[in-house]
Chains A and B, each alone.
Chain A
Amino acid sequence: MKQWNPTSCLQEDQEEVSFSFEGRRLRARKGQSVAAALINNGIKKIAVSKKFGQPRGAYCFTGRCYSCTVNIDGCSHVRACMTPVQENMEVEMAKGYFDIRNDDNGL
Protein backbone atom coordinates (compact mmCIF):
# COMPACT_ATOMS: atom_id res chain seq x y z
CA MET A 1 0.00 0.00 0.00
CA LYS A 2 2.89 2.33 -0.60
CA GLN A 3 1.28 4.80 -3.01
CA TRP A 4 -2.04 4.86 -1.30
CA ASN A 5 -2.71 8.18 0.33
CA PRO A 6 -6.35 9.17 0.49
CA THR A 7 -6.01 12.89 0.96
CA SER A 8 -9.31 14.60 1.65
CA CYS A 9 -11.80 12.29 3.32
CA LEU A 10 -14.88 13.00 5.35
CA GLN A 11 -13.94 10.60 8.13
CA GLU A 12 -10.70 11.17 9.93
CA ASP A 13 -11.62 9.39 13.14
CA GLN A 14 -8.77 7.14 14.22
CA GLU A 15 -10.20 6.16 17.58
CA GLU A 16 -10.46 2.40 18.03
CA VAL A 17 -13.38 0.44 19.38
CA SER A 18 -13.74 -3.20 20.26
CA PHE A 19 -16.71 -5.35 19.31
CA SER A 20 -17.50 -9.03 18.95
CA PHE A 21 -18.58 -11.31 16.14
CA GLU A 22 -19.90 -14.75 17.09
CA GLY A 23 -18.28 -14.25 20.47
CA ARG A 24 -14.88 -13.41 18.97
CA ARG A 25 -13.37 -10.13 20.19
CA LEU A 26 -12.37 -7.82 17.32
CA ARG A 27 -11.11 -4.29 16.89
CA ALA A 28 -12.33 -1.62 14.51
CA ARG A 29 -11.88 2.03 13.74
CA LYS A 30 -14.69 4.20 15.06
CA GLY A 31 -16.99 5.37 12.30
CA GLN A 32 -16.51 2.25 10.20
CA SER A 33 -19.56 0.21 9.31
CA VAL A 34 -19.93 -3.19 10.96
CA ALA A 35 -19.57 -4.91 7.57
CA ALA A 36 -16.34 -3.05 6.73
CA ALA A 37 -14.94 -3.71 10.21
CA LEU A 38 -15.59 -7.43 9.76
CA ILE A 39 -13.96 -7.51 6.33
CA ASN A 40 -10.99 -5.67 7.77
CA ASN A 41 -10.71 -8.49 10.31
CA GLY A 42 -10.68 -11.01 7.48
CA ILE A 43 -14.31 -12.06 7.84
CA LYS A 44 -16.27 -11.91 4.60
CA LYS A 45 -18.94 -14.50 5.31
CA ILE A 46 -21.26 -12.74 7.74
CA ALA A 47 -24.63 -14.23 6.89
CA VAL A 48 -26.27 -17.29 5.37
CA SER A 49 -29.10 -17.31 2.87
CA LYS A 50 -32.43 -17.93 4.52
CA LYS A 51 -33.56 -20.88 2.47
CA PHE A 52 -30.50 -22.89 1.53
CA GLY A 53 -28.02 -21.63 4.12
CA GLN A 54 -25.51 -20.56 1.47
CA PRO A 55 -22.72 -18.18 2.52
CA ARG A 56 -23.43 -14.47 2.12
CA GLY A 57 -21.47 -11.30 2.66
CA ALA A 58 -21.96 -7.60 2.15
CA TYR A 59 -22.48 -6.93 -1.55
CA CYS A 60 -23.69 -3.39 -2.29
CA PHE A 61 -22.65 -1.43 0.82
CA THR A 62 -25.48 1.04 0.25
CA GLY A 63 -28.21 -0.71 2.19
CA ARG A 64 -30.17 -1.97 -0.78
CA CYS A 65 -29.30 -5.62 -1.27
CA TYR A 66 -29.87 -6.86 2.30
CA SER A 67 -27.22 -9.51 1.78
CA CYS A 68 -25.42 -8.52 5.00
CA THR A 69 -28.20 -8.66 7.58
CA VAL A 70 -26.91 -9.75 11.00
CA ASN A 71 -28.11 -9.75 14.59
CA ILE A 72 -26.73 -6.79 16.52
CA ASP A 73 -27.18 -6.64 20.29
CA GLY A 74 -30.11 -9.04 20.03
CA CYS A 75 -31.85 -7.16 17.24
CA SER A 76 -32.30 -9.21 14.09
CA HIS A 77 -32.20 -8.21 10.40
CA VAL A 78 -29.84 -5.29 10.92
CA ARG A 79 -27.88 -4.26 7.82
CA ALA A 80 -24.21 -4.53 8.73
CA CYS A 81 -23.21 -2.12 5.96
CA MET A 82 -25.43 0.70 7.24
CA THR A 83 -24.68 0.37 10.96
CA PRO A 84 -21.64 2.15 12.42
CA VAL A 85 -19.63 -0.11 14.70
CA GLN A 86 -19.73 0.83 18.38
CA GLU A 87 -17.86 -0.10 21.52
CA ASN A 88 -18.93 -3.49 22.90
CA MET A 89 -21.34 -4.15 20.08
CA GLU A 90 -22.30 -7.83 19.88
CA VAL A 91 -22.71 -9.01 16.31
CA GLU A 92 -23.98 -12.48 15.48
CA MET A 93 -24.72 -14.34 12.32
CA ALA A 94 -28.43 -14.81 11.79
CA LYS A 95 -29.34 -18.44 12.36
CA GLY A 96 -32.37 -20.48 12.99
CA TYR A 97 -35.09 -18.89 10.97
CA PHE A 98 -35.13 -21.44 8.22
CA ASP A 99 -38.65 -22.34 9.31
CA ILE A 100 -40.03 -19.07 7.95
CA ARG A 101 -40.10 -20.79 4.59
CA ASN A 102 -40.69 -24.29 5.76
CA ASP A 103 -42.22 -25.50 2.53
CA ASP A 104 -39.94 -28.54 1.96
CA ASN A 105 -38.93 -26.95 -1.29
CA GLY A 106 -35.37 -28.07 -1.69
CA LEU A 107 -34.53 -28.50 1.99
Chain B
Amino acid sequence: MDCDVCIIGGGPSGLAAAWQAGKTGLSVIIVDENQMLGGQLKQQRQPIQNLPDIFTNQQLTGFELAHELIHLIEPYDIKPLTGFSFIGVEADGTIGVNNGRETRKIRAKCIIVATGAAEEPILFPGWTLPGSFSIGAMQILINREKIVPGRTAVMIGSSSRTCQVASEMQQAGIIIAGVIEEKAKFDCSPSDLQHLKKLNIPLFAGVSKIRAEGEEEVENIHFKAGDGKEQSINTELVCIDGGLSPVVESNFILGYQLQFNSDLGNWIPSYDSCFHTSAPNVFVAGNAAGITSHGAILITGLIAGLSAAEALGKYSNKETVSKQRKKWWNELKTVEMAYDSTVYQARIQHVKQFEQLKIKQMS
Protein backbone atom coordinates (compact mmCIF):
# COMPACT_ATOMS: atom_id res chain seq x y z
CA MET B 1 0.00 0.00 0.00
CA ASP B 2 1.19 3.48 -0.82
CA CYS B 3 0.11 6.65 0.93
CA ASP B 4 1.34 10.14 1.64
CA VAL B 5 0.86 10.12 5.39
CA CYS B 6 0.76 7.14 7.71
CA ILE B 7 -0.66 7.89 11.13
CA ILE B 8 0.05 5.50 13.98
CA GLY B 9 -2.92 5.65 16.34
CA GLY B 10 -6.55 6.50 15.60
CA GLY B 11 -7.36 8.42 18.76
CA PRO B 12 -8.23 12.12 18.97
CA SER B 13 -4.81 13.42 17.91
CA GLY B 14 -4.44 10.89 15.08
CA LEU B 15 -7.91 11.69 13.75
CA ALA B 16 -7.33 15.44 13.99
CA ALA B 17 -4.01 15.08 12.16
CA ALA B 18 -5.65 12.85 9.53
CA TRP B 19 -8.42 15.38 8.97
CA GLN B 20 -6.00 18.27 8.58
CA ALA B 21 -3.70 16.35 6.21
CA GLY B 22 -6.58 14.72 4.31
CA LYS B 23 -8.23 18.09 3.69
CA THR B 24 -5.27 19.13 1.54
CA GLY B 25 -5.80 16.13 -0.74
CA LEU B 26 -3.15 13.87 0.73
CA SER B 27 -3.82 10.15 0.99
CA VAL B 28 -3.74 9.01 4.59
CA ILE B 29 -3.68 5.61 6.30
CA ILE B 30 -4.50 5.41 10.01
CA VAL B 31 -3.10 2.29 11.69
CA ASP B 32 -4.78 1.37 14.95
CA GLU B 33 -4.50 -1.74 17.11
CA ASN B 34 -8.14 -1.54 18.17
CA GLN B 35 -11.08 -2.70 16.10
CA MET B 36 -12.52 0.80 16.01
CA LEU B 37 -11.19 4.31 15.66
CA GLY B 38 -11.59 6.81 18.47
CA GLY B 39 -8.93 5.66 20.93
CA GLN B 40 -9.76 6.24 24.56
CA LEU B 41 -12.65 8.57 23.62
CA LYS B 42 -14.71 5.46 22.99
CA GLN B 43 -15.31 4.95 26.70
CA GLN B 44 -15.34 8.54 27.89
CA ARG B 45 -18.80 9.51 29.01
CA GLN B 46 -17.78 12.82 30.55
CA PRO B 47 -18.25 16.13 28.72
CA ILE B 48 -14.98 17.31 27.18
CA GLN B 49 -13.93 20.79 28.29
CA ASN B 50 -12.16 23.42 26.20
CA LEU B 51 -12.42 22.03 22.68
CA PRO B 52 -10.64 23.92 19.88
CA ASP B 53 -12.60 26.43 17.78
CA ILE B 54 -13.11 24.05 14.84
CA PHE B 55 -15.85 22.33 16.82
CA THR B 56 -18.96 24.44 16.63
CA ASN B 57 -20.62 22.23 19.21
CA GLN B 58 -18.71 22.68 22.45
CA GLN B 59 -20.92 20.34 24.48
CA LEU B 60 -19.53 16.98 23.42
CA THR B 61 -18.89 13.88 25.48
CA GLY B 62 -15.98 11.59 24.64
CA PHE B 63 -18.24 9.22 22.64
CA GLU B 64 -19.69 12.10 20.67
CA LEU B 65 -16.30 13.63 20.00
CA ALA B 66 -15.13 10.29 18.58
CA HIS B 67 -18.22 10.19 16.33
CA GLU B 68 -17.67 13.77 15.28
CA LEU B 69 -14.01 13.17 14.36
CA ILE B 70 -14.81 9.98 12.44
CA HIS B 71 -17.53 11.89 10.61
CA LEU B 72 -15.11 14.74 9.82
CA ILE B 73 -12.57 12.49 8.07
CA GLU B 74 -15.17 10.66 5.97
CA PRO B 75 -15.07 12.85 2.83
CA TYR B 76 -11.31 12.54 2.36
CA ASP B 77 -8.88 9.92 1.14
CA ILE B 78 -8.31 8.57 4.66
CA LYS B 79 -8.18 4.80 5.12
CA PRO B 80 -8.45 3.33 8.61
CA LEU B 81 -6.48 0.12 9.07
CA THR B 82 -7.95 -1.13 12.33
CA GLY B 83 -6.82 -4.22 14.18
CA PHE B 84 -3.27 -3.70 12.90
CA SER B 85 -0.21 -2.96 15.03
CA PHE B 86 2.83 -1.08 13.86
CA ILE B 87 5.65 -3.62 14.08
CA GLY B 88 8.62 -2.28 12.17
CA VAL B 89 10.28 -0.35 9.37
CA GLU B 90 12.48 -1.79 6.63
CA ALA B 91 15.79 -0.23 5.61
CA ASP B 92 14.09 1.69 2.79
CA GLY B 93 11.48 3.13 5.17
CA THR B 94 8.64 0.75 4.32
CA ILE B 95 6.37 0.33 7.32
CA GLY B 96 5.25 -3.11 8.48
CA VAL B 97 1.89 -3.62 10.21
CA ASN B 98 0.44 -6.85 11.52
CA ASN B 99 -2.93 -8.01 12.82
CA GLY B 100 -1.87 -11.37 14.21
CA ARG B 101 -2.61 -13.18 10.93
CA GLU B 102 -1.00 -11.19 8.16
CA THR B 103 1.67 -8.55 7.75
CA ARG B 104 1.15 -5.69 5.34
CA LYS B 105 3.60 -3.17 4.01
CA ILE B 106 2.90 0.53 3.82
CA ARG B 107 5.06 2.97 1.90
CA ALA B 108 4.45 6.44 3.31
CA LYS B 109 6.19 9.75 2.74
CA CYS B 110 5.39 11.00 6.21
CA ILE B 111 4.69 9.34 9.56
CA ILE B 112 2.73 10.91 12.39
CA VAL B 113 3.17 9.17 15.73
CA ALA B 114 -0.12 9.56 17.60
CA THR B 115 0.21 6.62 19.93
CA GLY B 116 -1.25 8.38 22.96
CA ALA B 117 -0.58 7.46 26.54
CA ALA B 118 -0.58 4.36 28.70
CA GLU B 119 -1.52 3.96 32.32
CA GLU B 120 1.14 3.37 34.89
CA PRO B 121 0.40 0.84 37.62
CA ILE B 122 0.97 1.25 41.35
CA LEU B 123 2.85 -1.79 42.55
CA PHE B 124 2.00 -3.55 45.82
CA PRO B 125 1.72 -7.21 46.83
CA GLY B 126 -1.28 -8.69 45.08
CA TRP B 127 -1.71 -6.03 42.39
CA THR B 128 -1.57 -8.75 39.74
CA LEU B 129 -4.51 -10.74 41.14
CA PRO B 130 -7.54 -11.09 38.88
CA GLY B 131 -10.02 -8.40 39.89
CA SER B 132 -7.35 -5.73 39.91
CA PHE B 133 -7.77 -3.30 37.03
CA SER B 134 -6.36 -0.02 35.88
CA ILE B 135 -8.97 2.73 36.13
CA GLY B 136 -8.94 3.09 32.35
CA ALA B 137 -9.79 -0.60 32.10
CA MET B 138 -12.69 -0.08 34.49
CA GLN B 139 -14.00 2.74 32.33
CA ILE B 140 -13.74 0.50 29.27
CA LEU B 141 -15.60 -2.30 31.06
CA ILE B 142 -18.56 -0.24 32.20
CA ASN B 143 -18.90 2.23 29.32
CA ARG B 144 -17.66 0.39 26.25
CA GLU B 145 -18.09 -3.29 27.05
CA LYS B 146 -21.10 -2.44 29.21
CA ILE B 147 -20.51 -4.99 31.92
CA VAL B 148 -20.35 -4.66 35.68
CA PRO B 149 -17.28 -6.65 36.73
CA GLY B 150 -18.02 -6.78 40.47
CA ARG B 151 -20.12 -5.46 43.32
CA THR B 152 -17.55 -3.58 45.38
CA ALA B 153 -14.37 -1.71 44.51
CA VAL B 154 -11.51 0.11 46.15
CA MET B 155 -9.78 2.84 44.17
CA ILE B 156 -6.06 3.46 44.62
CA GLY B 157 -5.04 6.96 43.57
CA SER B 158 -6.84 10.26 43.69
CA SER B 159 -6.51 12.15 40.41
CA SER B 160 -9.51 13.80 38.76
CA ARG B 161 -9.72 10.68 36.56
CA THR B 162 -10.16 8.55 39.69
CA CYS B 163 -13.03 10.76 40.81
CA GLN B 164 -14.65 10.64 37.38
CA VAL B 165 -14.39 6.86 37.11
CA ALA B 166 -15.50 6.36 40.72
CA SER B 167 -18.73 8.23 40.11
CA GLU B 168 -19.31 6.38 36.81
CA MET B 169 -18.77 3.09 38.63
CA GLN B 170 -21.22 4.05 41.31
CA GLN B 171 -23.79 4.94 38.66
CA ALA B 172 -23.22 1.48 37.17
CA GLY B 173 -24.14 -0.03 40.54
CA ILE B 174 -20.70 -0.75 41.96
CA ILE B 175 -20.22 0.18 45.62
CA ILE B 176 -17.02 2.16 46.11
CA ALA B 177 -15.76 0.85 49.44
CA GLY B 178 -12.91 3.32 49.59
CA VAL B 179 -10.54 5.64 47.77
CA ILE B 180 -7.01 5.36 49.10
CA GLU B 181 -4.02 7.55 48.36
CA GLU B 182 -0.41 7.05 49.39
CA LYS B 183 0.32 10.77 49.36
CA ALA B 184 -0.60 12.82 52.42
CA LYS B 185 -3.18 14.78 50.41
CA PHE B 186 -5.59 13.96 47.62
CA ASP B 187 -4.49 14.98 44.11
CA CYS B 188 -7.87 16.05 42.81
CA SER B 189 -9.50 19.46 42.95
CA PRO B 190 -11.51 20.49 46.05
CA SER B 191 -14.74 20.22 44.04
CA ASP B 192 -13.92 16.63 43.00
CA LEU B 193 -13.13 15.80 46.61
CA GLN B 194 -16.41 17.33 47.70
CA HIS B 195 -18.16 15.20 45.10
CA LEU B 196 -16.59 12.00 46.47
CA LYS B 197 -17.62 12.97 49.99
CA LYS B 198 -21.15 13.60 48.79
CA LEU B 199 -21.26 10.09 47.37
CA ASN B 200 -20.43 8.82 50.88
CA ILE B 201 -17.22 7.16 49.77
CA PRO B 202 -14.72 6.49 52.60
CA LEU B 203 -11.51 8.40 51.83
CA PHE B 204 -8.06 7.52 53.15
CA ALA B 205 -4.98 9.67 52.51
CA GLY B 206 -1.42 9.04 53.56
CA VAL B 207 -1.81 5.27 53.52
CA SER B 208 1.09 2.84 53.35
CA LYS B 209 1.73 -0.90 53.12
CA ILE B 210 -1.09 -1.59 50.68
CA ARG B 211 -1.61 -5.25 49.90
CA ALA B 212 -4.37 -7.09 48.08
CA GLU B 213 -5.21 -10.62 49.13
CA GLY B 214 -7.26 -13.44 47.73
CA GLU B 215 -7.00 -17.07 46.73
CA GLU B 216 -7.67 -16.80 42.99
CA GLU B 217 -9.14 -13.28 42.82
CA VAL B 218 -9.03 -10.11 44.87
CA GLU B 219 -11.00 -10.66 48.08
CA ASN B 220 -9.79 -7.91 50.35
CA ILE B 221 -7.32 -5.12 50.59
CA HIS B 222 -5.20 -4.21 53.62
CA PHE B 223 -3.34 -1.00 54.31
CA LYS B 224 -2.07 1.19 57.08
CA ALA B 225 -4.17 4.34 57.19
CA GLY B 226 -2.79 7.84 57.68
CA ASP B 227 -3.58 7.66 61.42
CA GLY B 228 -1.47 4.50 61.76
CA LYS B 229 -4.42 2.11 62.09
CA GLU B 230 -4.43 -1.11 60.12
CA GLN B 231 -7.42 -1.20 57.80
CA SER B 232 -8.93 -4.06 55.87
CA ILE B 233 -11.71 -3.72 53.31
CA ASN B 234 -13.52 -6.60 51.66
CA THR B 235 -13.71 -5.91 47.94
CA GLU B 236 -14.05 -7.75 44.65
CA LEU B 237 -12.32 -5.10 42.59
CA VAL B 238 -9.26 -2.94 42.94
CA CYS B 239 -8.82 0.01 40.56
CA ILE B 240 -5.34 1.39 40.21
CA ASP B 241 -4.60 4.91 39.02
CA GLY B 242 -0.87 5.34 38.62
CA GLY B 243 -1.16 8.23 36.16
CA LEU B 244 -0.39 8.35 32.46
CA SER B 245 2.84 8.24 30.53
CA PRO B 246 3.40 8.80 26.79
CA VAL B 247 3.68 5.73 24.55
CA VAL B 248 6.99 6.18 22.77
CA GLU B 249 8.17 2.66 21.97
CA SER B 250 7.99 3.49 18.25
CA ASN B 251 11.22 5.33 18.95
CA PHE B 252 13.05 1.96 18.84
CA ILE B 253 11.84 1.59 15.26
CA LEU B 254 11.74 5.14 13.97
CA GLY B 255 14.83 6.31 15.82
CA TYR B 256 13.67 9.77 16.84
CA GLN B 257 15.39 11.36 19.79
CA LEU B 258 13.74 11.31 23.21
CA GLN B 259 14.07 13.84 25.94
CA PHE B 260 13.14 13.69 29.60
CA ASN B 261 10.54 16.15 30.78
CA SER B 262 8.77 15.33 34.04
CA ASP B 263 5.99 17.91 33.50
CA LEU B 264 5.04 16.36 30.17
CA GLY B 265 5.05 12.75 31.39
CA ASN B 266 8.77 11.85 31.53
CA TRP B 267 10.27 10.54 28.27
CA ILE B 268 8.84 12.20 25.16
CA PRO B 269 10.15 12.77 21.63
CA SER B 270 12.05 15.99 20.96
CA TYR B 271 10.06 18.14 18.56
CA ASP B 272 10.03 21.61 17.07
CA SER B 273 7.10 24.00 16.72
CA CYS B 274 5.91 21.97 13.70
CA PHE B 275 5.78 18.85 15.92
CA HIS B 276 8.51 17.43 13.70
CA THR B 277 10.79 15.00 15.58
CA SER B 278 14.50 14.52 15.00
CA ALA B 279 13.80 11.74 12.47
CA PRO B 280 13.14 12.97 8.91
CA ASN B 281 9.44 13.33 8.11
CA VAL B 282 8.35 11.83 11.42
CA PHE B 283 5.90 13.97 13.39
CA VAL B 284 4.36 13.45 16.80
CA ALA B 285 1.00 14.53 18.21
CA GLY B 286 -1.30 14.17 21.17
CA ASN B 287 -0.43 12.56 24.47
CA ALA B 288 2.62 10.94 22.85
CA ALA B 289 4.03 14.49 22.69
CA GLY B 290 3.30 15.14 26.38
CA ILE B 291 0.36 14.33 28.65
CA THR B 292 -2.26 17.03 28.33
CA SER B 293 -5.99 17.81 28.01
CA HIS B 294 -8.37 16.79 25.21
CA GLY B 295 -8.38 20.23 23.59
CA ALA B 296 -4.61 20.37 23.47
CA ILE B 297 -4.42 16.80 22.16
CA LEU B 298 -6.61 17.80 19.21
CA ILE B 299 -4.67 20.99 18.48
CA THR B 300 -1.31 19.21 18.48
CA GLY B 301 -2.84 16.77 15.98
CA LEU B 302 -3.97 19.66 13.78
CA ILE B 303 -0.52 21.25 13.87
CA ALA B 304 1.19 17.93 13.05
CA GLY B 305 -1.23 17.33 10.15
CA LEU B 306 -0.66 20.83 8.81
CA SER B 307 3.10 20.50 9.09
CA ALA B 308 3.07 17.12 7.36
CA ALA B 309 1.07 18.62 4.48
CA GLU B 310 3.54 21.50 4.33
CA ALA B 311 6.50 19.10 4.27
CA LEU B 312 4.91 17.29 1.33
CA GLY B 313 4.56 20.53 -0.60
CA LYS B 314 0.81 20.92 -0.32
CA TYR B 315 0.96 24.62 0.48
CA SER B 316 2.49 26.95 -2.07
CA ASN B 317 2.16 29.93 0.20
CA LYS B 318 4.52 29.58 3.17
CA GLU B 319 2.96 32.55 4.90
CA THR B 320 -0.53 31.06 5.12
CA VAL B 321 0.87 27.96 6.76
CA SER B 322 2.92 29.77 9.36
CA LYS B 323 -0.01 32.06 10.08
CA GLN B 324 -2.30 29.08 10.61
CA ARG B 325 0.27 27.34 12.76
CA LYS B 326 0.71 30.46 14.87
CA LYS B 327 -3.04 30.70 15.34
CA TRP B 328 -3.17 27.12 16.59
CA TRP B 329 -0.23 27.63 18.92
CA ASN B 330 -2.12 30.56 20.41
CA GLU B 331 -5.17 28.38 20.83
CA LEU B 332 -2.99 25.64 22.33
CA LYS B 333 -1.76 28.21 24.82
CA THR B 334 -5.29 29.19 25.85
CA VAL B 335 -6.51 25.62 26.13
CA GLU B 336 -3.45 24.26 27.89
CA MET B 337 -3.08 27.17 30.32
CA ALA B 338 -6.68 26.56 31.35
CA TYR B 339 -5.81 22.91 31.98
CA ASP B 340 -2.41 23.24 33.63
CA SER B 341 -0.01 26.13 33.08
CA THR B 342 3.07 24.05 33.99
CA VAL B 343 2.31 21.71 31.08
CA TYR B 344 2.24 24.56 28.58
CA GLN B 345 5.39 26.16 29.97
CA ALA B 346 7.17 22.79 29.91
CA ARG B 347 6.09 22.31 26.29
CA ILE B 348 7.44 25.72 25.23
CA GLN B 349 10.71 24.93 27.00
CA HIS B 350 10.83 21.53 25.33
CA VAL B 351 10.35 22.99 21.84
CA LYS B 352 12.87 25.79 22.43
CA GLN B 353 15.52 23.36 23.63
CA PHE B 354 15.19 21.23 20.50
CA GLU B 355 15.14 24.20 18.13
CA GLN B 356 18.28 25.64 19.72
CA LEU B 357 19.98 22.27 19.42
CA LYS B 358 19.07 22.16 15.72
CA ILE B 359 20.55 25.63 15.13
CA LYS B 360 23.72 24.60 16.94
CA GLN B 361 24.03 21.46 14.83
CA MET B 362 23.57 23.43 11.62
CA SER B 363 26.27 26.01 12.37
A interface vs B, CB < 8 Å? Answer: 1-4, 6, 8-11, 29, 32-33, 36, 39-40, 44-46, 49, 54-64, 67, 75, 78, 81-82, 84
Residues of A within 8 A of B141 (CB): 36, 39, 61
Residues of B within 8 A of A67 (CB): 128
B145 x A32 contact (CB < 8 A): yes
Question: Given A39-B149, A44-B130, A57-B217, A63 and B33 touching (CB < 8 A)?
Answer: yes
The number of chain B residues touching the other chain, given as a range, is 35 or more
Question: Given A9-B143, A61-B133, A55 and B35 touching (CB < 8 A)?
Answer: no
B interface vs A, CB < 8 Å? Answer: 33-36, 38, 40, 42, 45, 61, 63-64, 66-67, 100, 118-119, 121, 128-134, 136-137, 140-141, 143-149, 171-173, 216-217
Residues of B within 8 A of A60 (CB): 118-119, 133-134, 136-137
Q: Which of A10, A55, A63 contacts B42 (CB 8 A)?
A: A10
Tell me the complex Cα distance, A8–B62, Å: 10
A9 x B144 contact (CB < 8 A): yes
Residues of A within 8 A of B128 (CB): 49, 54, 56, 59, 67
B66 x A10 contact (CB < 8 A): yes
> Which secondary structure dominates where chain A touches chain B?
loop
Tell me the complex Cα distance, A75–B216, Å: 25
Q: How far is the CB of A69 from chain B (nearest CB, A)?
A: 12
Tell me the complex Cα distance, A41–B118, Å: 27
B63 x A4 contact (CB < 8 A): no
A61 x B137 contact (CB < 8 A): yes
Q: Which of B33, B42, B147 contacts A82 (CB 8 A)?
A: B33
Output the nearest chain B residue to A61 by Cβ-Cβ distance. Answer: B137
Output the nearest chain A residue to B127 by Cβ-Cβ distance. Answer: A59
B144 x A55 contact (CB < 8 A): no
Tell me the complex Cα distance, A78–B101, Å: 11
Closest 6 CB pairs of A and B: A57-B130, A61-B137, A36-B145, A44-B130, A1-B173, A40-B147
Tell me the complex Cα distance, A6–B239, Å: 21
